[in-house]
Chains A and B, each alone.
Chain A
Amino acid sequence: MRIRCPLCGDRDSREFTYMGHEIYMHRPEDAGWSPAWDDYLHLRDNPAGVTRDLWYHGAGCTGWLLVERDTTTHDILRVELATDAKRGSA
């Protein structure tokens, strides 16, 4: 598998660490434990198809990337810096 890091270019997936679904970027506001937290930490749509997840370019630029992928084909549709995505959505 290869991922096109926006900063480093096309790289072998062994340079990256996977974390999980994009939801990890959207930390709940609730100050105490709540269903939103259960959602955030545990529950997943777990789609068979297109999803967006977080990858860390630890052996490269140390950037966190938001990657749009298809979980059935491993096609990679879009890659952007998580920071850009976060700023864009904020």
Chain B
Amino acid sequence: MRIEGKGRIDAGQPVRFWFDGQGYTGFRGDTLASALLANGVRLVGRSFKYHRPRGVLTAGSEEPNALMEIGRGAAQVPNVRATVQEIYDGLEARSQNRMGPLAYDLLSVNDLFPNFLSAGFYYKTFMWPRAFWEKLYEPAIRRAAGLGSLSGKHNPNHYEKAFAHCDILVIGSGPTGLMAALTAALGGADVILAEESAEFGGRLLSEEEEIDDQPGADWVASMLDALRDTGRVRLMPRTTVTGAYDQGTYGALERVGLHVDGPAELPKECFWRINARQAVLAAGALERPIAFPMNDRPGIMMAGAVRSYLHRYGVAAGRKVTLFASNDDAHRTALDLMASGVEIAGVIDSRPEARARGDYPLFAGAQVIGTRGRKALGEITIRNNGGEQRIETDCLAVSGGWNPSVHLTCHMNGRPVWREDIAGFVPAEDAVPGLIPAGACNGTYSTAGCLTDGVAAAKQALAAMGGKTREIEIPQASDAVGGSKPLWLVPGKGRAWLDFANDVTSKDIKLAAQEAFASVEHMKRYTTQGMAPDQGKNSNIGALAILADATGRAIPETGTTTYRPPFVPVSIAAFGAGAQGKGFAPERLTSSHDASLERGAPMIEAGLWYRPSYFPRPGETTWRQSCDREVTMTRNAVGVCDVSTLGKIDIQGPDAAEFLDFVYANLFSTLKVGRVRYGLMLREDGHVMDDGTTARLGDNHYLMTTTTAAAGEVMKHLDFVQQCLRPDLNLRFISVTEHWAQFAVAGPKSRDLLNGLLDAPIDNDSFPFMGCGEVSVMGVKGRLFRISFSGEHAYEIAVPARYGEALFRQLVTQAETMGGGAYGMEALNVMRIEKGFVTHSDIDGRVVPFDIGMERMVSAKKMCIGKPATMREGLKGAERQQLVGLKPVGAVQELTAGAHLFEADADPVRVNDLGYVSSVGFSPTLGQFIGLGFLRDGPNRVGEVVKMVDHLRRVETRVEVCAPVFHDPDGEKLRG
């Protein structure tokens, strides 16, 4: 029921929205919950286990009942708190977790058998027959469980992530937070004031409260002006601080576009990483329910929420309201409602000493022991003076006192401390370094106290930063803290809910204790109390108290509860913003990328890079045709391939040679200027880390190449070796991978092709095999290396990256006139297998030099990284699987990588396993499949026939073990 003239909604701006297919009107400024309540909608959801009808309980993000699906199709969001969601024109909401219409949920049969569905019952049954679990029981349980649903479609909306930095982060904008923010800003600090709600002011907006003789809301407005005037405060409404992390890092979720039907590019939410030197936690307190029989009906609400709906939204939560409380503070609910003309049918205060603060029927020392009304509350039963009495009511406001919002202070394992005087947990001291709790979240409940606390906290923060503090006048406000006496559980017939969302009742807690799940953590896990979407915000303390009682211990002894981040649930789209589609990782493109695309090359991912797979020509319909042609073309004429993705590290300095001797297994100090050498790099544990060639460009100048995959890792490793192991060596190095475009030019006509582009032609004397040097390429200074990964007479030519595309186009066009052309990764791979060159498919991180026949490359003349570890007994010997070549000789002429090897007549089972195939390709040169693999004692078995079995692809064949070099074993072509 809407109350004329009350509330902060904009009565001039009606908003049309939909709930379960029915249209309603609310006003701008309404939440979905306030608008539904204003329209008299009580039943808004179904509970998790018993599918009980539920209504709105709270007015905040701690809401356990009013969870809904918002939106349609791919944009549908499940489990949205109606108490937080602001309405906008066209908003569509649906109730969830029901089978059939909300009012007639079929699964509510569960509610008839609560005794068979008690805590942990499922651990004790559904075991027979065994096969039924996956087929019958589990699917049925899964269907019944869960809350809202995902659409199954890709997220269509935009989300954002951002960083923010400040001196002091103030979390919460009630009286405490506002004073803290102002004090901090006047003290010269850059401040962020984060407020979960759409409006600043905290409880001041929900109460009749005066500060400095102004209504609370007016004081808030003047404070916001003052904050803006400082020019130092960033106001962040609709922003919930979700987590406290190390060194002053806070996570925060901003609802940017959830409250409007905004344009597509407006992000729905933004996840902030806020770095704050200091922070003030002014998160307030949450009201706690009382567990009394049948306390879960629609219409039973928190008293503070009833006041919020009245003052913020101008909504009376009922026409005939009752109040059940154990503290003075809650009595304002009756006074405020009466002032707005709502009937108060009774105030039931469990404290015998309670006094009425106005003209309403008070039942002091009484308790609510029952309620009626299936889909909405109709009546309550109270126990009063030993007798029972029924009161007709459509709304029961409940208050069991307040719990400080200590959540963020638990995020770093801080354990809150019990304060008997307020019967609540307050933050442990220094629970989060640099986070200062103040006001209600620290157990200070009077408005005056909060104002003072806020100032003190900000001063403490300023002092911690070494800043100056300015005296600031503390406004006048009430210092009243009403009496309160905790009431946890009202005994009686019927279930008393603690965790509304997960349907955990006081009986479940007692059963847990009875079955030895007596520690608080056991109880939580056994009953699932506290695991629901509200994360126990409404139920933890009550459950703890009942457990304490059941086990005969005091609350502090029973153990404190903890809360984990996030404070409110955060959508994965916000946490992971930016990554959907291609945003997950950077895309690295070579200078020839466009030219390759123009030639129709499919690009494949190689780490972060894209590289051409093959270059199809007219008439070629399969990749194999193109690949075979590219191999043959290269072997007979000339092929061009972009190899810029290989890591290039420029190393200079008087000790460069010594450094290389140390990081490579083989010697580099003996390399002559103008020459290139293959290098084997080990990890310190003796396994192969990477390989590549390194050129000596000058006495003190080397250029190292790494594989594409290991470029970053090698760079880091070299930095480690130099800085942590050998800072005595005088050298510098830097990655120049991006600076140079580099192309392999391979094949018998490679030199002819190059000589067409080089300003000074080369020959075998100026550039012998493994020679290198500077060249001039059509006027551009470049480098030429006579190295080969294909086994052909080949070069790699490098030019500054900006000339890369032009050179690639030139090379390919020229090559085509010579019967050659560009080749891609597929052909590159086939040629290197034909030649027996290993890649990371073979040297996969578990391989040692011995395995690839390179143990003699580990120089005996010097120490190097990894050398001592290679001497371990397990790193050599016939037991190890070693590199071999493989050729199919059986009826099946195919090899598959990943297949395993067995004796020809052995069963293909693990105990008979001899090794595996690591690389395969069809060699057009040899006209058959060839492969590389690792075989136990392999080199000694050359010539033998073993069995290759690929269980997965159902390929089995006999393969001949051969030396791993299939093509030009003597290397004549390389030197030609």
Is chain B in direct contact with chain A in the complex (CB below 8 A)?
yes
- Tell me if B562 is interfacial: C-beta within 8 Å of chain A: no
Question: CB-CB < 8 A to A30: which residues of B?
Answer: 868
User: A1-B245, A33-B869 are known contacts. Are A64 and B724 too (CB-CB below 8 A)?
Assistant: yes
Grouping DSSP codes into helix (H, G, I), strand (E, B) and loop, the A interface class, with mixed when no group exceeds half, is: mixed
Question: CB-CB < 8 A to A83: which residues of B?
Answer: 723-724, 727
- Tell me if A6 is interfacial: C-beta within 8 Å of chain B: no
A2 to B433 CA separation, bound complex (whole angstroms): 13
- Tell me if B684 is interfacial: C-beta within 8 Å of chain A: yes
A82 to B725 CA separation, bound complex (whole angstroms): 9
- Tell me if A25 is interfacial: C-beta within 8 Å of chain B: yes
A7 to B685 CA separation, bound complex (whole angstroms): 31
Question: CB-CB < 8 A to A8: which residues of B?
Answer: none
| Pairwise interchain contact B871-A56, C-beta atoms closer than 8 A | no
| Pairwise interchain contact B246-A1, C-beta atoms closer than 8 A | yes
Question: CB-CB < 8 A to B846: which residues of A?
Answer: none
Question: CB-CB < 8 A to A12: which residues of B?
Answer: 163, 249, 273, 275
A2 to B481 CA separation, bound complex (whole angstroms): 41
The 0/1 profile, CB within 8 Å of A marked 1, for residues 677-716 of chain B is: 0000000110000000000000000000000000010011
Give the distance to chain A from B563, nearest Cβ to Cβ, in Å: 18
User: A33-B868, A56-B719, A86-B723 are known contacts. Are A41 and B246 too (CB-CB below 8 A)?
Assistant: no
Question: CB-CB < 8 A to B863: which residues of A?
Answer: 31
| Pairwise interchain contact B246-A2, C-beta atoms closer than 8 A | yes
Give the distance to chain A from B168, nearest Cβ to Cβ, in Å: 16
A1 to B412 CA separation, bound complex (whole angstroms): 12
Count of A-B residue pairs with CB < 8 Å: 75
Q: B580-638: which have CB < 8 Å to A?
A: none
User: A2-B247, A56-B719, A76-B247 are known contacts. Are A33 and B724 too (CB-CB below 8 A)?
Assistant: no
> What are the nearest 8 A-B pairs in CB distance?
A2-B247, A1-B246, A64-B723, A74-B246, A33-B871, A83-B727, A25-B724, A83-B723
| Pairwise interchain contact B720-A56, C-beta atoms closer than 8 A | yes
User: A33-B868, A33-B871 are known contacts. Are A41 and B723 too (CB-CB below 8 A)?
Assistant: no
| Pairwise interchain contact A75-B719, C-beta atoms closer than 8 A | no
Interface of B toward A, CB cutoff 8 Å? 163, 245-249, 273, 275, 412, 433, 684-685, 712, 715-716, 719-720, 723-725, 727-728, 863, 867-869, 871-872
Closest to A90 in B: B728
A87 to B724 CA separation, bound complex (whole angstroms): 9
| Pairwise interchain contact B684-A2, C-beta atoms closer than 8 A | no
The 0/1 profile, CB within 8 Å of B marked 1, for residues 1-22 of chain A is: 1110000000011000101000
- Number of contact residues on A: which range applies? 35 or more
Which of B248, B684, B715, B724 has the most A CB atoms < 10 Å from its CB?
B724
Question: CB-CB < 8 A to B716: which residues of A?
Answer: 17, 56, 58
A74 to B872 CA separation, bound complex (whole angstroms): 37
Name 8 A/B residue pairs within 8 A (Cβ), A-sorted: A2-B247, A19-B720, A31-B868, A56-B720, A74-B247, A74-B412, A83-B727, A86-B727
Give the distance to chain A from B355, nearest Cβ to Cβ, in Å: 49
Taking a contact as CB atoms closer than 8 A, the residue among B248, B725, B727, B728 that contacts A2 in the complex is: B248
Closest to A57 in B: B719
Question: CB-CB < 8 A to A31: which residues of B?
Answer: 863, 867-868
Interface of A toward B, CB cutoff 8 Å? 1-3, 12-13, 17, 19, 24-25, 27-28, 30-34, 37, 40-41, 54, 56, 58, 62-64, 73-76, 81-83, 86-87, 90
User: A27-B725, A32-B868, A41-B869 are known contacts. Are A2 and B719 too (CB-CB below 8 A)?
Assistant: no
Give the distance to chain A from B821, nearest Cβ to Cβ, in Å: 39
Taking a contact as CB atoms closer than 8 A, the residue among A33, A62, A87 that contacts B719 in the complex is: A62
Closest to A84 in B: B727
| Pairwise interchain contact A75-B433, C-beta atoms closer than 8 A | yes
Question: CB-CB < 8 A to A62: which residues of B?
Answer: 715, 719
A1 to B712 CA separation, bound complex (whole angstroms): 23
Closest to B720 in A: A64
Give the distance to chain B from A23, nearest Cβ to Cβ, in Å: 11
Taking a contact as CB atoms closer than 8 A, the residue among A41, A63, A64, A87 that contacts B685 in the complex is: A41
User: A1-B249, A2-B248, A76-B247 are known contacts. Are A81 and B723 too (CB-CB below 8 A)?
Assistant: yes
A90 to B724 CA separation, bound complex (whole angstroms): 11
| Pairwise interchain contact A1-B868, C-beta atoms closer than 8 A | no
Give the distance to chain B from A44, nearest Cβ to Cβ, in Å: 15
A27 to B868 CA separation, bound complex (whole angstroms): 11
Question: CB-CB < 8 A to A13: which residues of B?
Answer: 246
| Pairwise interchain contact A25-B872, C-beta atoms closer than 8 A | no
| Pairwise interchain contact A54-B727, C-beta atoms closer than 8 A | no
Closest to B735 in A: A62
User: A1-B249, A17-B716 are known contacts. Are A63 and B723 too (CB-CB below 8 A)?
Assistant: yes
| Pairwise interchain contact B247-A1, C-beta atoms closer than 8 A | yes
Taking a contact as CB atoms closer than 8 A, the residue among A3, A82, A90 that contacts B723 in the complex is: A82
For the A-B complex with A1-B249, A90-B727 known, give 6 more contacts whose Cβ atoms are closer than 8 Å. A31-B867, A37-B868, A37-B869, A63-B719, A64-B719, A86-B723
Closest to B728 in A: A90
Question: CB-CB < 8 A to A90: which residues of B?
Answer: 727-728
Question: CB-CB < 8 A to A54: which residues of B?
Answer: 720, 724
Question: CB-CB < 8 A to A87: which residues of B?
Answer: 727
A63 to B246 CA separation, bound complex (whole angstroms): 22
Question: CB-CB < 8 A to B273: which residues of A?
Answer: 12
Closest to A62 in B: B719
Give the distance to chain A from B644, nearest Cβ to Cβ, in Å: 21
Question: CB-CB < 8 A to A33: which residues of B?
Answer: 868-869, 871-872
A87 to B715 CA separation, bound complex (whole angstroms): 22
Question: CB-CB < 8 A to A81: which residues of B?
Answer: 723
A32 to B728 CA separation, bound complex (whole angstroms): 23
Question: CB-CB < 8 A to B867: which residues of A?
Answer: 31
User: A1-B246, A19-B720, A30-B868 are known contacts. Are A25 and B433 too (CB-CB below 8 A)?
Assistant: no
| Pairwise interchain contact B724-A82, C-beta atoms closer than 8 A | yes
Question: CB-CB < 8 A to B871: which residues of A?
Answer: 32-33
Question: CB-CB < 8 A to A24: which residues of B?
Answer: 720, 724
Question: CB-CB < 8 A to B723: which residues of A?
Answer: 63-64, 81-83, 86
Give the distance to chain A from B623, nearest Cβ to Cβ, in Å: 36
Give the distance to chain A from B132, nearest Cβ to Cβ, in Å: 45
A46 to B690 CA separation, bound complex (whole angstroms): 29
Question: CB-CB < 8 A to B725: which residues of A?
Answer: 25, 27, 86
Closest to A19 in B: B720
Question: CB-CB < 8 A to B433: which residues of A?
Answer: 75
A17 to B716 CA separation, bound complex (whole angstroms): 9
Closest to A58 in B: B716
Give the distance to chain B from A35, nearest Cβ to Cβ, in Å: 12
Closest to B712 in A: A58
A27 to B863 CA separation, bound complex (whole angstroms): 12
Closest to A66 in B: B724
A25 to B747 CA separation, bound complex (whole angstroms): 46
Give the distance to chain B from A12, nearest Cβ to Cβ, in Å: 7
Give the distance to chain B from A34, nearest Cβ to Cβ, in Å: 7
Question: CB-CB < 8 A to B248: which residues of A?
Answer: 2
A60 to B533 CA separation, bound complex (whole angstroms): 40
Give the distance to chain B from A63, nearest Cβ to Cβ, in Å: 7
A55 to B122 CA separation, bound complex (whole angstroms): 47
A54 to B725 CA separation, bound complex (whole angstroms): 12
Give the distance to chain B from A43, nearest Cβ to Cβ, in Å: 13
Question: CB-CB < 8 A to A27: which residues of B?
Answer: 684, 725
A73 to B432 CA separation, bound complex (whole angstroms): 10
Question: CB-CB < 8 A to B412: which residues of A?
Answer: 73-74
Which of B685, B712, B719, B867 has the most A CB atoms < 10 Å from its CB?
B719
A47 to B715 CA separation, bound complex (whole angstroms): 30
A62 to B716 CA separation, bound complex (whole angstroms): 8
Question: CB-CB < 8 A to A73: which residues of B?
Answer: 412
Closest to A24 in B: B724
Give the distance to chain A from B214, nearest Cβ to Cβ, in Å: 41
Give the distance to chain A from B147, nearest Cβ to Cβ, in Å: 33
